[in-house]
Structure 1
Amino acid sequence: MAGSCRMIDEFAKDNLHKRLRRDREALLWKIDGLSEYDARRPLTATGTNLLGLVKHVATVEARYFGEVFDRPSPEPLCRWQESDGSDQWAAENETRDQIVGFYRRTWEHSDATINELALDAPGHVPWWSEPHPNTNLFAIMVHVLGETIRHAGHADILREGIDGRTGVRAENEQPIDEEARAAYFAKIEQAARTAAPTKA
């Protein structure tokens, strides 16, 4: 029975880890080929921007697979209590290569944590409120995967708004058929207008 549980744990860990690696790459692809301005500029009223999403997810991952398991990230991070939102945008003196490099080095540190610990390895998240700050590797893998997927989705929409590119990786990208897209858009717009109540 114990051997069977270990097999299930390894299967779960391997699948979560594969998905995390896939979605990390998808997020990075969203800044591929963009000008510095388009990679950095705010694209929503709250300032959401593509390079900032990469920086934010890198910081989130560095914290969760680092200090939560008493394996601090080798990257310099401000104390979580002092976080001021600067992890969500790129300052003028930060290059794209620096931020992408930080994210890739974070992957190495996170992957080492994932590979070396069991799924039930205990962790402690000091920024989670009582009574739930104590956790384990499985819960953190699910949490970080959720964060990565969420922000990769944000990035997908932002990138589509810049130049129409969509998808999770370059090899799956199809040429953009502007006419087909316009027809599809019009179909959805018409359905929305038809469903909306008419004014008396």
Structure 2
Amino acid sequence: MIDEFAKEYLHHDLRDIRETMLWKLDGLPEYDVRRPLTATGTNLLGLVKHLSITEARYFGEVFDRPFPEPLPRWDAADDGTDMWANEHETRAEIIDRYRRVWAHSDATIGALAIDAPGHVPWWPRPDVKLFNILVHVLAETSRHAGHADILREQLDGSTGAAAEYAHLEPDRATWAARCATIEQAARAAAASAQH
């Protein structure tokens, strides 16, 4: 049986990883949070925008508690506009909406039992419980937080999972030495594989 301890545990982790997502934007200029950093256009602000839409839908529509603001339709997201911010969408607007989504989601999580039923019509097994959605949204947010980690490291070398532990991260010289060791091992393995 899934109990309230599991609900609070998952909810706590979701709250933490949301904060990490926003921390990855801190201190970066407008261009850097928006510019495409992968071949598919992945960017930091777009990840936050995407997560706000995803979370609003899962903790809203699935439990018949729709988010009270207009959001893009799921089928409209096929054009990828949920993954990047246009020039008219401000960083503050996207972050503020994400925080409003958190409040809405947190209210849903708080109001419902962990085994409260929901319905996800686009899933193969559409009848779910709050537990399933908590796990799904936590996994989705964590996946994109991993993307954000790599994007931020590409931009300015910043690493870490939470602001309060950033001071524990190694300095650039330590990272450079580690990369050199890894590069040496990779070259040695490649040379061995050729023989």
Instruction: Tell me the TM-score range normalised by the shorter chain.
Output: over 0.9
1:82, CA displacement in angstroms?
2.7
Conserved 8 A contact 1:80-1:127: no
SS of alignment partner, residue 118 of structure 2? strand
Q: TM-score, length-normalised on structure 1? A: 0.92
The runs of at least 4 aligned residues of structure 1 exceeding 3 Å deviation read 197-200
1:168, CA displacement in angstroms?
1.9
Distance across 2 between alignment mates of 1:133 and 1:120: 15
1:183 aligns with 2:138: no
Distance across 1 between alignment mates of 2:61 and 2:130: 12
1:15 aligns with 2:9: yes
Conserved 8 A contact 1:19-1:145: yes
Distance across 2 between alignment mates of 1:125 and 1:198: 48
1:123 aligns with 2:118: yes
- Please show how residues 43-54 of structure 1 align to structure 2 within 5 Å: 43-54=37-48
Q: Deviations over 1:42-79 (max 9, x none)?
A: 00000000000000011110000000001111121122
SS of alignment partner, residue 135 of structure 1? strand
Q: Which amino acid aligns with 1:106?
A: V
1:147 aligns with 2:140: yes
SS of alignment partner, residue 51 of structure 1? helix
Gaps of 5+ in 1: none
Identity, % of aligned pairs?
A: 66
1:176, CA displacement in angstroms?
5.5
Pair 1:162–1:176, CA change in 2 (3 A): farther
SS of alignment partner, residue 140 of structure 2? helix
Conserved 8 A contact 1:58-1:103: yes
- Please show how residues 52-63 of structure 1 align to structure 2 within 5 Å: 52-63=46-57
Partner of 2:164: 171
Q: Which amino acid aligns with 2:188?
A: T
Partner of 1:133: 126
1:101 pairs with one of 89, 96, 105: 96
Distance across 2 between alignment mates of 1:86 and 1:58: 13
Partner of 1:86: 81
Distance across 1 between alignment mates of 2:45 and 2:72: 19
Gaps of 5+ in 2: none
Q: Deviations over 1:96-141 (max 9, x none)?
A: 0000001000000000000000111111112223xx0111100000
Distance across 2 between alignment mates of 1:198 and 1:23: 40
Partner of 2:194: 199
Distance across 1 between alignment mates of 2:33 and 2:175: 24
Conserved 8 A contact 1:164-1:176: no
Distance across 2 between alignment mates of 1:141 and 1:177: 36
Distance across 2 between alignment mates of 1:66 and 1:16: 18
Q: TM-score, length-normalised on structure 2? A: 0.94
